[in-house]
Chains A and B, each alone.
Chain A
């Protein structure tokens, strides 16, 4: 049925048209976004001079890197436990808790984490104000859920007897983990890290709830700007983000192709 094929291309057109137009009009000199006023880089120049935006972007990158790393640690352990530990005590609750941030609406997660931070602050004096640190913890909680799913799926697809074979061949459990399990998990850990990193960079709801005056992330700035409508600077920022994402994805694709080629050859 060719209806489906037509639908696919229309759907892809719908997904890409706004993004492509956004990138194209970032190079327009006109003050009104999406109006062509001749080619110009002036909005990129204006963007580079916007200190508040750049500061927020750098903070967002730092938070995303930290949150992704923490998420890989927690989510990696949890995913491994779910895939390999069999029916341990409290397994159902464990699975429900690790997966909860995946299915809860962001406003619920954001509000409940904020209330937790406030309650902890009152009870034990930690975390001592809200800002980058609390955003990082909130994003790590969200990211860990995704990492756990990815890692669990990867290990569930891999033969369990690999580890047993390693131990049978004389490896201690620790050596078996280091030489067999960890390499097996590695691609999913990397994928999970990237996923958690992007989620953090993209989040505005959790951050708005748990952040304080000292922790304004890039999406928070963007959101407050978009409340007033689209400006040419934001348009230019969009083009930069799309460009960075395209370059990063291109590089990832190249690396993957190289790895695949090596595997195929060897």
Chain B
């Protein structure tokens, strides 16, 4: 056996090795995360042009400024763009609220289940992730369209005679959004609720609170960080969502994601699309920072 007393001092940090690990990571992040953001901002300041690629960069040969703020001005003044932002924020807000409303009881029930059943139940909530996002949207198309399953069932039951127009409505869009984002809401809610101290709920009941009052005065307020995290985790991606509104929503619902997509793919106005992305980013920076603060506090 080695004598433990004279054990050699082990250097805790080995600078060259750390550098060898950090350098490739830094390089990757600089190239694929930082640089694209800068390019995006640059092109948002550029002019639309009919060439390939279809824009003039903001700095000409020799670094001369030839950029413009016209794209941002257009977004700020044109009601079409402004409304698309407002509508997107509304859709994101409603989606996140619905996910909380549906997800909270689910997370609470899982957190209250016997220990051995919690992981399987949580997996059951997450499992639909692995069936493919587009496939699930497709399933809703099959369920909701005029000659779809739901209308068929309602007709057989005699509830309706003519098919209800369900697909390509706001309802269909919200159903699809909630279906896609619900697991995002359940996870942080569960994480918070699983850590709650049951003694606090017992103490409240002991002091005369009925179950509903215990929930409102103890369980719910104590899960506030989880509620906020769940809301933001749905709100942030939902604000820029493109696929679901495009496949399920009404054609007139011009959300930011869809407008950006249209400017890019149909109008080929890359600078305007880039400017929309920059504005979307600026709009979302507050919720994103808030979410990151919550995450840091939860650890």
Contacts and interface: CB of A to CB of B under 8 A. Distances in A.
Contacts of A109: 36
Interface string A226-240: 110110001101100
B280 A105 contact: yes
Contact of B18 (A85, A106, A108, A208): A85
B240 A173 contact: no
Contacts of A74: 24-25, 28
B166 to A, nearest CB: 13
B32 A113 contact: yes
B143 A18 contact: yes
Given A19-B136, A107-B242, A198-B129, A8 B36 contact: no
A259 to B, nearest CB: 15
Contacts, number: 239
Interface residues of B, number: 94
Interface string B27-56: 011111111110110010000000001000
A7 B109 CA distance: 8
Given A34-B143, A34-B148, A107-B260, A19 B131 contact: yes
B219 to A, nearest CB: 9
B276 to A, nearest CB: 9
Contacts of A167: 10
B134 A4 contact: no
Interface in B96-122: 102-106, 108-110, 112, 121
A33 B273 CA distance: 36
A99 B247 CA distance: 29
Contact of B139 (A21, A173, A202): A21
A112 B242 contact: no
A49 to B, nearest CB: 20
Given A81-B25, A223-B243, A21 B143 contact: yes
Given A137-B32, A141-B33, A241 B102 contact: no
A140 to B, nearest CB: 8
A111 B274 CA distance: 7
Given A105-B241, A229-B145, 15 more contacts: A4-B105, A7-B106, A11-B106, A14-B102, A15-B125, A18-B136, A21-B149, A34-B149, A104-B240, A115-B274, A141-B28, A201-B132, A222-B138, A230-B141, A235-B142
Interface of B: 2, 7, 10, 12-14, 17-18, 21-22, 24-26, 28-37, 39-40, 43, 53, 102-106, 108-110, 112, 121, 124-125, 127-143, 145, 147-149, 152, 179, 182-183, 186, 211-212, 215, 236-237, 239-243, 246-247, 256-257, 260-261, 264-265, 270, 273-274, 277, 280-281, 284, 288, 291-292, 299
